[in-house]
Structure 1
Amino acid sequence: MKSRELDLVPFSTQIYGILCESLCKLGQPFEALEIFRSVTERGVYLESSKIYSVLICSFASIREVGVAEELFEEGESKKMLKDPNPFLRMISMYVEEGLTEKTLGVVKVMTGANIRVSDNICCAVVSGFSRKNRLLTAVKFFEDLVSMGCQPGQVTYASIINVYCRLGLNSKAEMVFEEMEEKGFGKCVVAYSSMVVMYGKTGRPRDAMRLVAKMKERGCKPNVWIYNSLMDMHGRDKNLRQVSKIWTEMKRRKVVPDKVSYTTVISAYNKAGEFEMCMKYYHEFRVHGGVLDKALAGMMVGIFSKTGRIDELVKLLRDMKSEGTALDGRLYRSALNALTDSGLEMQVKWLQGSFKVT
């Protein structure tokens, strides 16, 4: 095309645009930028708003902060930033880099350009800082966004409720949850999960049960996280009747128990001294292909040791060894004492040589 001197024909603008976009998709944004600069210098008109968007998104995605900023400022000055994608990419980049003021600065540019700050963009800020464990920063940004007139949606509400719960700001979490409900976002399972966990940690099982009942009334189905939280809080109170009722409901609703479910229900019966039920759930877990982790294996080492089930203890220890599950000092001593008391010298030597105590 260049050799035929077709640079200035109408369709060349489309071709160069496609070429730049394709290079960016191939992971070659610097080559795309070089073509864009050289073509515009020769006076070829390109649909610059789209090219700026593609280039900014590409450089922000690979966290080339300086180049992305230069293109962003250039595009803004030429009023070429017309869609939210480059703003979202810049925000994500700044969050990853921990540049808080610049993150908010991008949002201010959006509002100044009358580009709607969507729920996705609000959530990118809140959840981004939350993932980096900068919870207070996430809170500040949420409050700043609201004060700037941004309207959070369901995803942002769910994210900030989780942040407030993690910070122990329970009254704030409840207030934002009520606000979320008033705005018509009453079917967010993630938000319900955060609230149920919060009620469990603060010893408010009745509030948790009322919230789950409300959730069901609205046609929102509890997930495995919610059932696990309910069983955990009732298990800590040794309320085995409620634990059993929740487990049965979970199965009836075809919610598949995960490893945390089995660990939680076994822990509840273990605290109440119901060791037969512990073994029943443990064997069910293993029959369904469950893989041991330190928490569950550790509990079962204690249970088998206390109940004198040496054969099952030895099998469990061998399974732990083959699956690479660690054994802490307390449980190592428990298993060692059980094997020693049973006179199993070979198994004692095997245990001593097989596990690095953590």
Structure 2
Amino acid sequence: MPQANNPVSFPRPKDFAHFVLDRIHDVELGLKFLDWASKRPYSCSLNGSAYSSLLTLSARFKVFSEIELVLERMKLEELKPTCEALSVVIQAYADSGLVDKAVELYYVVGEIHNCVPSVFACNSSLNVLVKHQRIETARQVYDKMLENSCVDNCSTCIMVRGLCKDGKVKEGRELIEDRWGEGCIPSVVFYNTLIDGYCNKGEFESANGLFKELELKGFLPSLETYGVMINGFCKKGDFEAIDRLLLEMKERGLKVNARAYNNIIDARYKHGCTVKVV
């Protein structure tokens, strides 16, 4: 007796949409695909994975209007975006200077997934918060990152820079020592940040002390280190110290950039000194 033919089962668009979207590198093309998928026979609403892929695609190209529409649609359909997708969106907002949106979604990740976004998204958020002088919020983000073991050297450096810009250099150093141990400053980058912080506060002796400590610990001052120190001594009007630094740079084969020279010339004028052409 002949067997009845079994009906052929085709995958539904919602089951493969995210695989396609993950491979598309054009937002307009992605939206056209979704429009096509929605008109197929037996079509149904997209799932969270597909929407998350669309979020990621839109964020990569910073199409924020589409991101808002997708997030609203997901909220209405009670679907949760993945942590990975939200991380990409947060980074896009932060890198574009949209600090409030980045912070808002940072907290959304915690509410939905009980974790923090990726370290890249967190660092971008820290960076934009520091740029907007929202140091208290940045510290809250940083502390939450610590709780979730989501901190790298870049995270700490951004936070220290923010504290130093806010005049809290001592707190910045304590933050470094909390992570690496008392008396430990792990790299010349951190020294530069702290030295700059002291110079901006007018605490030139503390800045010079760190400069000497840096060399005693075997670190070589970078061009940035010399630039920060020269700028500090320009504010103080200590041109003998500046000349010593310039000589040290020459002996090491380092060239002074135009910005440093301009600072020196400007400082000599302000302090009533003769301007020497170097």
TM-score by length of 2: 0.72
Structure 1 residue aligned with 2:228: 264
* Structure showing greater relative contact order (alpha-carbon pairs closer than 8 Å, 6 or more residues apart): 2
Counterpart contact for 2:90–2:102, Cα < 8 Å = yes
Go from structure 1 to structure 2 and tell me whether the alpha carbon gap of 1:141 and 1:307 turns closer, same or farther (over 3 Å shift). same
Structure 1 residue aligned with 2:257: 292
Counterpart contact for 1:232–1:264, Cα < 8 Å = yes
* Distance in 1 separating the partners of 2:207 and 2:88: 37
Secondary structure at 1:148's aligned position in 2? helix
The number of aligned residues is: 263
* Distance in 2 separating the partners of 1:139 and 1:161: 9
Match status 1:104 vs 2:104: no
Structure 2 residue aligned with 1:66: 31
* 2:180 partner letter: K
User: What is the CA-CA distance between 1:111 and the residue it aligns to?
Assistant: 8.2
Residue identity over aligned pairs, in percent, reads 15
Go from structure 1 to structure 2 and tell me whether the alpha carbon gap of 1:239 and 1:87 turns closer, same or farther (over 3 Å shift). same
Matches within 5 A, 1:1-358: 52-53=17-18, 55-59=20-24, 61-64=25-28, 66-67=31-32, 69-70=34-35, 77=44, 86-87=53-54, 89-93=56-60, 96-99=62-65, 100-102=67-69, 104-105=71-72, 112=79, 116-118=82-84, 121-149=85-113, 151-153=115-117, 155=119, 156-185=121-150, 187-217=151-181, 222-251=186-215, 257-285=221-249, 287-290=252-255, 292-293=257-258, 295-302=259-266, 307-308=273-274, 310=276, 313=277, 316=278
Go from structure 1 to structure 2 and tell me whether the alpha carbon gap of 1:130 and 1:107 turns closer, same or farther (over 3 Å shift). farther
User: What is the CA-CA distance between 1:264 and the residue it aligns to?
Assistant: 0.9
1:78-115 residue CA offsets vs partner (Å, 9 max, x unmatched): 8788699835632424x6122241353587699837x7
Query: Larger deviation: 176-185 or 262-271?
Result: 176-185
Long gaps (5+) in structure 2: 1-7
Higher Cα radius of gyration: 1
Secondary structure at 1:168's aligned position in 2? coil
The structure where helix makes up a greater share of residues is 1
* 2:68 partner letter: E
Counterpart contact for 1:49–1:81, Cα < 8 Å = no
Long gaps (5+) in structure 1: 1-42, 317-358
* 2:156 partner letter: Y
1:189-209 residue CA offsets vs partner (Å, 9 max, x unmatched): 222222212222222222122
Counterpart contact for 1:205–1:234, Cα < 8 Å = yes
Go from structure 1 to structure 2 and tell me whether the alpha carbon gap of 1:91 and 1:237 turns closer, same or farther (over 3 Å shift). same
TM-score by length of 1: 0.58
Counterpart contact for 1:269–1:277, Cα < 8 Å = yes
Counterpart contact for 2:83–2:109, Cα < 8 Å = no
